[in-house]
Amino acid sequence: MARRRGDNEGVEFSEADVTLERPKNREHGDWATNVALRLAKPLATNPRELATEIAEAAATLPGVSSAEVAGPGFINLRLDAAAAGQLAKTIVDAGDAWGRNTTQAGRAINLEFVSANPTGPLHIGHTRWAALGDSIARVLKASGAEVASEYYINDAGAQMDKFGASVLAAAKGEPTPEGGYPGQYIADLAAHVLEQVPNLLELPADEALAAAREVAYAQQLSEIKQSLANFNVTFDVYFSERTLHAVNPETGTSAIDDAVAELRKLGHVFDADDAVWVRTTDFGDDKDRVIRRSNEIYTYFAADAAYYLSKSERGFEHKIYLLGADHHGYVHRLKALAGAAGDDPEKDIEVLIGQLVSVNGARLSKRAGNIIEMDDLIEWLGTDALRYSLGRYPADSPLALDPNQLRSRTNDNPVFYVQYAHARICSVTRNAQAAGVDTSVFEPGLLVHETESALLGALQEFPRVVAHAAELREPHRVARYLEEVAGLYHRWYDNCRVIPQGEEPVEDVHRTRLTLNLAVGQTIRNGLDLLGVSAPEKM
């Protein structure tokens, strides 16, 4: 703790009262703080006078070249080159840990996304949710949170029987049944089922349907997982809806039964019209929800309730759902469910709605016929281009991608621009080593060029950008930041040589710049990893 002298001896403040930010205009210095504005009132003094006093003291600190008062009491600080340049070695020493922070430490978060029905291939909408969800998980983990990325498998209910019937019909050479699933992929699944169950068509009707459904389901889910792996997306948990319906032999009840009993115990379940209801209107829902119909069959809401409660039982106090644009109606429902479960709907649950995405010129799947498949997009445009482009925009913004731009090797293609910067960094490193430049000497005071000051200023921001992206669930901030760093690097490359020219000797400035070169590479590499994008060493 620190105290200001004089008449304010009893007023205390700590480091938490001091906030430092990078000025948007670099001409205003390296750092800015409003500490004088925050402390003037408790200290009963004029903020500008307090700012002047603080600035005078700050100007005497090692590494501070100047401290100036601006406006009503802001303080702009400038670091000398040696202090500013020390960051380069800090980054290199930190390696893969650079950018990681603790702003989300202590939080146990369940993040659910994609969760497509296992009755068909993943499509273009799932591609966007996969890119966003995985990147959100990465920035949250990088900020210290304990995160479980989860895929909810809707493998119970009527759609699974329709799926099985469609596969069985294809195996028999019959038309798709009414309300069933068409497409070549169904025929492919039928061929797979016949390979696994050669006597399929000889089985009784109910056994044949069950076999077709289960074998095709396992194969389709395997293909979904492979598509996600090809997209550099992995899930910590694949949660089967069937487990919610399964009866525990010891208790004679299912997880859904237990969930209804728990909600009733909490006072939010009531009986009316021979049905069982949850009073979700108490928590902002537009109407109360039926959880069990008069025929004693549970509704989808019952499974939603059991699933939500299972997340709490598994130790996740915070739940994030990333849903598609057609799920707006779920927002109030899920938040009301959180309230009925005893949680804070404004604190313990987030429902993020992603908007639609389109790719100009994309063709419908030859296998599915009525969708644009994730696998086709990956083959056409590449994982890196897709992941970066889909992660470059907020989830709530409709998005149309230009395939010509994504496939181009020009600076107009943002992912190429950033990846090329990394490849150039690696080339500079290789050439420097061949020319005898190493990192045996690091003199940060030699990094005096204006492009070096600008580059170091941007590198300093990386942990804050990651923390902000995690806090707001907006990984696109990392992408935009990387583009800024890439631009500053290219300008530095044009002005400051790491490798001596001609017969010039290797000097300490070259060795020091090599460390800065490596620091930029580490930052770009770490940032691309948060987006699930590779950092090529050659292009």
pLDDT mean for each 10 residues of the chain (539 residues): 47 65 68 80 81 75 74 75 86 98 97 96 94 98 98 95 98 96 96 98 97 98 98 97 96 96 95 94 91 93 96 96 85 92 94 90 80 94 96 92 93 96 98 97 95 94 97 98 98 97 94 98 98 97
| Helix residue spans in 80-123 (DSSP H) | 81-94
CA dihedral 302, 308, 312, 313 (to 10 degrees): 40
Query: Beta strand 237-240 with 146-153: parallel, antiparallel or unpaired?
Result: parallel
Task: Report the distance separating Cα 306 and Cα 11, nearest Å.
Answer: 51
Give the CA diameter of the chain: 96
Show the beta-strand stretches assigned E in 410-463: none
| pLDDT of amino acid 361 | 87
What is the number of other CB atoms lying within 10 angstroms of the CB of residue 195?
10
Task: Report the DSSP beta bridge partners of residue 149.
Answer: 111
Please report, to the nearest 10 degrees, the dihedral formed by the alpha carbons of residues 212, 215, 218, 220 taken in order.
Answer: -50
pTM of the model: 0.89
Structure-token pair, residue 353: 């709605």
Helix (H, G, I), strand (E, B) or coil at 396: coil
Q: How far apart are CA 234 and CA 182, in angstroms?
A: 29
Contact 401, 357 (CB under 8 A): yes
Cβ–Cβ < 8 Å for 289, 329:
no
| The predicted structure's pLDDT at residue 82 | 67
* 426 vs 423: CA distance, rounded Å: 5
Q: Give the distance, in angstroms, between the CA of residue 383 and the centroid of all CA atoms in the same chain.
A: 16
At residue 95, the pLDDT reads: 98
Give the span between the Cα atoms of 353 and 355, in whole angstroms: 7
